[in-house]
Amino acid sequence: MAGRSKAAGWFQPLGVFMRTGLCKACEMPRPALIAVAAMLLSPAGMPSARAQSGLPMPEQGQAQAVLPGEAWAIDLVQAYECMLLNDPRVHAARAARDAGLDAGNIARAALLPQASINYLRNRTRQAERVAQTQAAGRLTVEDHFHGRRSGLSIKQTLFDYSAISTYRIGKTQAEHAEIQYRLQFQQEAVALIEAYLNALLARDSLELVRHQLRIYEDMLRGNERMMAQGEGTRIDILETRTQVSATRSELVTYENALADRLRELSARLGGPVQARQLLSIDLESALPPLQEGDLAALLADALQQNPEVQAARLAVRHNALTVEREKGQSMPRVSLHASHDRIVSDTINNKGRDYKSNTISLEVSIPLFSGGAGYYAARQAGNRLAQARHELDRTADSTATLLEQYYRVCATSAGRVRTLRQNVADSAGLVEAMHKSVAGGERSNTDALHAERQAHQARQELLRLYVEWFQGYARLQFHAGRFSEEDVLLLNRQLVADLR
């Protein structure tokens, strides 16, 4: 688009600004804080672009970043940073990840020694009536004494197949929490890219409609001027006025769409975003080629690295271990007990006695009958294992289907861009020639309106194609399991500052 220039030098070292806190990070005119993700992501998450750039890392506990002021443009990297700090879905995913990581520790506790200390202190009052001679009657003897009981007991499981399987299940749940966090985070990152581009598309589409409305209004004034000079017809005025009315109605639709897209983007960034703050797509730039773009390699990566496939594969392992756990319910359990007790006058019978005891015992428990619960639980776990395997196959197939779909979008977009760019140039030439023909009486006003509509549609299609490629590229990297901050940087380089 005219009047736009590429943003240069956006990834500059911040120096002292990094030490003033994250609260000033997003207020800078150009992004330089993309590696805030290093503070928020696990090691298994997305790689840090800051670590590759050599910029200093922010310290945890600094103030939360805010959106840039209206004086500055918000590029894709800044939007990504603000999403990391402000989007509640990202924070919810992190909390769920942290909660899931404790599953392995909880399951391991059943295999570790269980120790407990007990202490009891009591006061006993004893009243005893002793029969004397008939003349003396009964004699009551009262006594008061204090007692205590204390002990230390330790239990260590030696063999419990069910507890061992439960521990393995806990480790699998911890791995699943990491994969699920990576999946949710990448989904939010891709959704942010799509929300940003949808807002950008809505804004630029609105500008194209406004431009088209101005053209129709100029044509209407020309038709009215020709009519006043006795050279035009009323039909030309009515045709053009109809187009003006239809375009004004279309303009309202695009304005509402822009407001909706900006609201969706603002919700992800944690603050209001204005249309003028968004960058623009350079429609003259060439689309970058795919990195390692062979479809077979992408499919192989998807089956190994795609977080959805990995989560489904862990679900299969979880259910397989559940089957083993249920089998362990019918196996013997062996445990070792050790205890130390000291008793001092804790009861009347032990009054005045102070003794200690040390006990070591081996307990073997063999389940005999539980009403069939173990059998049915094992059968239920086996059916759920079969279900998880089928769901893994479905997830792998759907991932491969979507990956091929977005691969075709990215692979064919370069040729489509050249075609549509030529179409835009041809339609502009057609409009110019059509207006000259109308002025010479060779063509009618209807032909000129039709040529303007074609030119408008050609510009819209070119813009939509660029947005489709942006979104398709992000989706392709996501389904291939390759999505990282480098993809955010690559897409951001395709955007330019809007100088209007």
* 108 inside domain: no
3-class DSSP state of 263? helix
- Give dist(CA 441, CA 202) in Å, integer: 38
- Give dist(CA 476, CA 492) in Å, integer: 17
How many domains is the chain built from? 2
List the CATH number of the domain containing 125.
2.20.200
Same domain, 191 and 279: yes
* 326 inside domain: no
Q: How far is CA 484 from CA 120, 270, 289, in A?
A: 60, 22, 17
Q: What integer pLDDT is reported at residue 344 of this predicted model?
A: 82
Same domain, 148 and 69: no
Instruction: Tell me: pLDDT of 377 over 80.
Output: yes
- Give dist(CA 336, CA 155) in Å, integer: 6
3-class DSSP state of 283? coil
Is residue 94 within 8 A of residue 37, CB to CB? The reply is no
Q: Domain containing 195: what range?
A: 4-103+168-320+375-498
Same domain, 356 and 409: no
Q: What integer pLDDT is reported at residue 67 of this predicted model?
A: 55
Same domain, 152 and 207: no
Torsion of CA 181, 183, 184, 189, to 10 degrees: 120
Q: Which residues pair with 356 in a beta bridge?
A: 342
- Give dist(CA 5, CA 269) in Å, integer: 25
Max CA distance (Å), the chain: 152
Same domain, 392 and 360: no
Same domain, 351 and 445: no
Residues 30-37 have a mean pLDDT of 39
Q: What integer pLDDT is reported at residue 388 of this predicted model?
A: 95
* 327 inside domain: no
Give strand ranges (E) for 80-174: 114-131, 138-159
Within 10 angstroms of residue 254's Cβ, the number of other Cβ atoms is 17
Q: Which residues contact 210 (CB under 8 A, 6 or more apart)?
A: 251
- Give dist(CA 381, CA 391) in Å, integer: 15
Same domain, 306 and 256: yes
- Give dist(CA 61, CA 173) in Å, integer: 29
Per residue in 184-208, pLDDT (tens digit) is 999 999 999 999 999 999 999 999 9
Same domain, 276 and 186: yes
Environment class of residue 229 by beta-carbon count within 10 Å: exposed (0-12), middle (13-18) or buried (19+)?
exposed
Per residue in 240-280, pLDDT (tens digit) is 899 999 999 999 999 999 999 999 999 999 889 999 999 98
Residue in the block written with tokens 């502009």: 428
